[in-house]
Structure 1
Amino acid sequence: MKKLIIILSAVLFLTSCEEFLDINDNPNYPTDVSDELLLTSAEAAVTNIYCADWGLIGSFWSQHWAQNNTSSQYKNYETYAISSNTNVIERSYRSMFRDGLSDNEIFMQKVQENENWGAYLMGAVIKAYGFQYLVDLYGNTPYTEAFMGAEKLNPVIDHGEDIYAAIYQLLTDALSKDFHSYVPEIYEANDIIFNGDLHDWQAFANSLRLRILLRQYDANSSFAQQEISTLLANMEAENIYLLDKDVMVDNFEDADSKSNPLYETDQRQLNTTNNIKACITFTSYLEANSDPRLEVLFTPVDGNYYGLVPGSYNVPSTEFEAPKLIASPVIEPEMPVYWMTYAESELLIAEAYLRMGNTEMAQAYYESGVSESFARMGADAGDLLSGAYAFPTTGFDEQLKAIIMQKWIDAADGGRGIESHIERVRTGYPEESEISSQIDEGYTVPNDYIPGTLIYSKKGTSGGILPRRFPYADSELNFNSNAAEYKSLSDADVILQNVWWKN
């Protein structure tokens, strides 16, 4: 079983999934490929993009990580000088559609025709997961006509709000199907996330529904409030269930093209371990709170967990060499890729209860989420939940901040910074430092710096404003006539725009 999965993942990684079952090459859907293999292909492609592309840039923008001062691989992430044709922007967008979501669409078509509703739910979750990130990162994007091949070479660009409504309904409908005829053994070897366990897919679907609702809470409050209230009531009545485990792909090996996608792209293929270093924004917060997860997430130098100020990559090596001084994030070849952690799901429930006015339940799920984060990382929380991380007794803003800050910490495990970046845009947490201009390049900060507040990069090019989203992808702008209205927009302006749920 493992051999088949790893071989498929390796092929997908090496080819960037570009040659495998391209729906635009065959709009009538292939009939000679089993749906189990299509499922593996879709899951592997989404995993690669989420981890190696979006996870990487997100971890810089969330200030978990910083660019080493003796290398230059990711300088454009810390300058915020990304454009429509920046590799990570263009490649990941194209690959998500052409490889992950297109293969998944074929999978859904095949199992729907056979009324295989258990498998259909898997496809619905993958589709909703992928499109939520596409909207959160790129804004408006094709959806209704995205996979029509030659019939629609210029698919309509759907509004993010409409896509959110569509994927939420997709999940709701898929969860309502009759699953009695589902045979899990068929997918056990090819589902690289849950090994065909439908209970886990149902739980993931409901956790994802909750995340979709919370993301749009301010922009679509009446709908979000009603749906969250119903979801929580059904959860309490045990009519539905949310995640009780991590959603992860963990079939990696310490071998060429078989390892964790982030490790493979950043360290094995580039033949260096020195591109990425700890960021002082993050390490200062963990140190200030005596959080032992610091020792799990980073490798110290001479016992020190120094982090770099964002944008310090031009500090001459004659002043200091980061590899000999600055801590490095733990990035290992067999490290899992987490689509969503159990801890994140618990913290989502905590926020949901907080917004519904039930602070007692909010605290209970907050503490559960923090505890699960520590447990997954193998760290001891000690008395932090009654001390530095105690749930605030009053004040909605402070209580929400406590929840989101813990999501920020949890997302540093495995390089999931893209999720905490999006949450920062949505909630404003972590907050921005008020003294960014007074902080010099290097690895020290003034005494009045508040640990964990985001520092505008010393080489930032966005006028003192932290980036909020990605530019539109070059392939959409240049090859889809329906994207004409976006083509004249400046990339530098677009990255400072809000997506629909923040307007």
Structure 2
Amino acid sequence: MINFKRTLLPAALGLLLAGSSCKKALDINQDPNNPAIGQGTPTIVFPAAVMSTAGRVGGDMAILGGIWAQYWTQSATANQYKYIDAYNVKSADFNGGYTELFAGALNDYQFVIGKANEQRNWKYLLMATVMKAYTYQVLVDLYDQVPYSEAFRGTANLQPKFDDGYSIYKSLLAEIDTALARDYHTGEFDTRDQQADIVFGGDMDRWEEFANTQKLKMYLRMVNKKPAEAQAGIEALYTAGARFLSTDAAIKSFVNQPDKSNPFYEYNVRSLNVSTNLRASRTLLTYLQANADTRRPVYYAGNNGLDQGDYGTTSSAGQNASVVNQSATDPVYFISAAESFFMQAEARERYFAGAGAKARYDQGVLAAFDQHDLDGTAFVNGAYAYPTAGTLDQKIEAISTQKWISFFGSHALEGFFEKNRTGYPRTSAVYSDNPAYVPGQFVVSRNAVTNNQLPKRLVFPDVERTRNRNTPAEVPITTPVWWAL
């Protein structure tokens, strides 16, 4: 079971909070159904909320997402993540992540939104609304239904109802539109406010782009089940001249110190005092090898992969599979520049007859390599060249595959989500040790307990079920969430 403490703070945030008497505000609540009234300020509470999101999405949930997105797999010489690799996740396994995102991040964002409206501080309103939408989307995409319309009412409602994912998406989109309609460019942030914005340092143009890109992402998630609505929403963004991210929305201020490093590294390496629990999955490794991808040595410390979920192997090759490379200073991405470009490429293919899609795709591939200080030019002109003459499905497959590769690391949860949305990379008809296996195709874990099915969601956590009688009945983790294939 993964259950980690909320102590990850980058150096800049530590300086911002030094000497503050508002410690209580950083621990606003421990119960998503019974939030207390915070006594802090947006300047103090906002960065704590962002780090709550980053610490979970880029930490323990990245470990889960990376196993289910087949970037890495459980080592054959350890036991830490067998239950994830076997799709044997239970209701108690992610209590900490669920509680932290609700009682920590979302409760704090709601506090900031309330204060921002009171103070007519439209900068913090936009910042907190975008991060609230991002964090809520993660929960919806994991659980399908979560409390929303009756959440954060404190003792006025200790048993909030669960809203369906589609309704939550609609409401979040409306919240973003409301924040975007305010005059968030007026007024100046002082030095403390700029430090409190640990994503963009107070640059509201970047927050506007983040807001538009978050909307684009949510509309793309709708393409399978709400196609007309997805198309209308995306076309409206382009008609309005929306600007999208061309830089990373990310936390990049981690340092190599306990509780201040990248959360994935903190959880998987520092806290466990071992760096070898996660090994290269043959799913991604074979694809990188087949294309001579120069990111391979960045991702893995060697060329030897382990078949996904084959942690029971006694073979020398399996037990010595290459370790996943991690660094204490790796960023946590909310939406990377690469992801933004890939989403724009998909939107242009689906709704604008492909106009500009290749250019955005190429930018996405180049940005994905640039994350690791590598030049991807040879790949956009070679192995990863855009299939301009291909069908729409072939183009979506190319975009989705490159997007999948780019999510490696603390962005890994998105790789799991996007596989569920697009179906790409494809799922193999054979296991990855079969000579007929096609590099890069997903396989069902060797030790899966799901009747040869891939996971699609998490089950509702104990912390919610024992406190809220409105928690929906449990469904299998192989059941798709509302937007998935």
TM-score range, shorter chain: over 0.9
Give the Cα separation in 1 of the matches to 2:415 and 2:201: 28
TM-score by length of 1: 0.89
* Map 1:271-350 → 2, pairs under 5 A: 271-300=273-302, 305-316=303-314, 319-320=315-316, 325-350=320-345
- Given that 1:285 and 1:452 are in contact with CA atoms closer than 8 Å, whether structure 2 keeps it comes out as yes
Give the Cα separation in 2 of the matches to 1:110 and 1:47: 22
Secondary structure, aligned partner of 2:253: coil
* Map 1:220-235 → 2, pairs under 5 A: 220-235=226-241
Give the Cα separation in 2 of the matches to 1:409 and 1:24: 36
The question of 1:21 aligning with 2:16 is answered no
The question of 1:219 aligning with 2:221 is answered no
Residue of 45, 51, 65 corresponding to 1:38:
45
- Given that 1:23 and 1:149 are in contact with CA atoms closer than 8 Å, whether structure 2 keeps it comes out as no
- Given that 2:10 and 2:261 are in contact with CA atoms closer than 8 Å, whether structure 1 keeps it comes out as no
Residue of 59, 69, 72 corresponding to 2:66:
59
- Given that 2:146 and 2:165 are in contact with CA atoms closer than 8 Å, whether structure 1 keeps it comes out as yes
Q: 1:455 to 1:18 in 2, by over 3 A?
A: farther
CA drift of 1:130 comes to 0.7
Q: 1:37 to 1:225 in 2, by over 3 A?
A: same
Residue of 457, 465, 469 corresponding to 1:477:
465
Secondary structure, aligned partner of 1:192: coil
- Given that 1:5 and 1:251 are in contact with CA atoms closer than 8 Å, whether structure 2 keeps it comes out as no
Residues 390-442 of structure 1: CA deviation (Å, up to 9, x unaligned)? 11122111100000001100001x33221011111111001111112xx5xxx
Q: 1:462 to 1:138 in 2, by over 3 A?
A: same
Residue of 173, 191, 197 corresponding to 1:191:
197
Q: 1:224 to 1:151 in 2, by over 3 A?
A: same
Residue of 378, 396, 402 corresponding to 1:400:
396
What amino acid is aligned across from residue 314 of structure 1 in structure 2?
G
The question of 1:429 aligning with 2:424 is answered yes
Give the Cα separation in 1 of the matches to 2:35 and 2:84: 36
Partner of 1:146: 151
What amino acid is aligned across from residue 166 of structure 1 in structure 2?
S
Give the Cα separation in 1 of the matches to 2:287 and 2:335: 23
Secondary structure, aligned partner of 1:189: helix
Q: Which runs of 5+ in 2 are unaligned?
A: 1-8
Q: Which has the larger displacement, 96-105 or 377-386?
A: 377-386
CA drift of 1:181 comes to 3.4
Q: 1:352 to 1:192 in 2, by over 3 A?
A: same
Residues 214-249 of structure 1: CA deviation (Å, up to 9, x unaligned)? 0011211222111111212333xxxx3111211111
Secondary structure, aligned partner of 2:426: coil
Partner of 1:442: none
Partner of 2:378: 383
Partner of 1:450: 438
Give the Cα separation in 1 of the matches to 2:16 and 2:55: 12
Residues 264-307 of structure 1: CA deviation (Å, up to 9, x unaligned)? 1111111101101110000100111111111222222xxxx111
Residue of 104, 118, 140 corresponding to 2:109:
104
Partner of 2:449: 461
- Given that 1:58 and 1:421 are in contact with CA atoms closer than 8 Å, whether structure 2 keeps it comes out as yes
Q: Which runs of 5+ in 1 are unaligned?
A: 440-444
- Given that 2:10 and 2:255 are in contact with CA atoms closer than 8 Å, whether structure 1 keeps it comes out as no
Give the Cα separation in 2 of the matches to 1:429 and 1:97: 30
Residue of 56, 59, 74 corresponding to 1:49:
56
- Given that 2:46 and 2:196 are in contact with CA atoms closer than 8 Å, whether structure 1 keeps it comes out as yes
Give the Cα separation in 1 of the matches to 2:258 and 2:410: 20
Q: 1:9 to 1:419 in 2, by over 3 A?
A: farther
CA RMSD of aligned residues (A): 2.3
Residues 313-360 of structure 1: CA deviation (Å, up to 9, x unaligned)? 1123xx32757x322222111111111100000000000011114224
Secondary structure, aligned partner of 1:383: helix
Give the Cα separation in 2 of the matches to 1:2 and 1:127: 20
Give the Cα separation in 2 of the matches to 1:391 and 1:251: 34
The question of 1:502 aligning with 2:471 is answered no
Q: 1:117 to 1:8 in 2, by over 3 A?
A: closer
Give the Cα separation in 2 of the matches to 1:256 and 1:2: 10
Partner of 2:4: none
What amino acid is aligned across from residue 66 of structure 1 in structure 2?
T
Give the Cα separation in 2 of the matches to 1:7 and 1:80: 41
What amino acid is aligned across from residue 86 of structure 2 in structure 1?
T
Q: 1:149 to 1:396 in 2, by over 3 A?
A: same
- Given that 1:21 and 1:99 are in contact with CA atoms closer than 8 Å, whether structure 2 keeps it comes out as yes
Give the Cα separation in 1 of the matches to 2:276 and 2:135: 31
- Given that 2:27 and 2:104 are in contact with CA atoms closer than 8 Å, whether structure 1 keeps it comes out as yes
Give the Cα separation in 2 of the matches to 1:453 and 1:8: 46
Partner of 2:6: none
Partner of 1:120: 125
Residues 356-394 of structure 1: CA deviation (Å, up to 9, x unaligned)? 142241111111111111122122224322322111122
- Given that 1:23 and 1:29 are in contact with CA atoms closer than 8 Å, whether structure 2 keeps it comes out as no
Give the Cα separation in 1 of the matches to 2:17 and 2:286: 37
Residue of 191, 210, 216 corresponding to 1:204:
210
Partner of 2:366: 371
Secondary structure, aligned partner of 1:347: helix
Q: 1:38 to 1:346 in 2, by over 3 A?
A: same
CA drift of 1:34 comes to 2.0
CA drift of 1:481 comes to 1.4
Give the Cα separation in 2 of the matches to 1:65 and 1:415: 12
What amino acid is aligned across from residue 107 of structure 1 in structure 2?
V
Give the Cα separation in 1 of the matches to 2:328 and 2:416: 24
Residue of 154, 158, 161 corresponding to 1:156:
161
CA drift of 1:18 comes to 11
Partner of 1:351: 346
The question of 1:181 aligning with 2:186 is answered yes
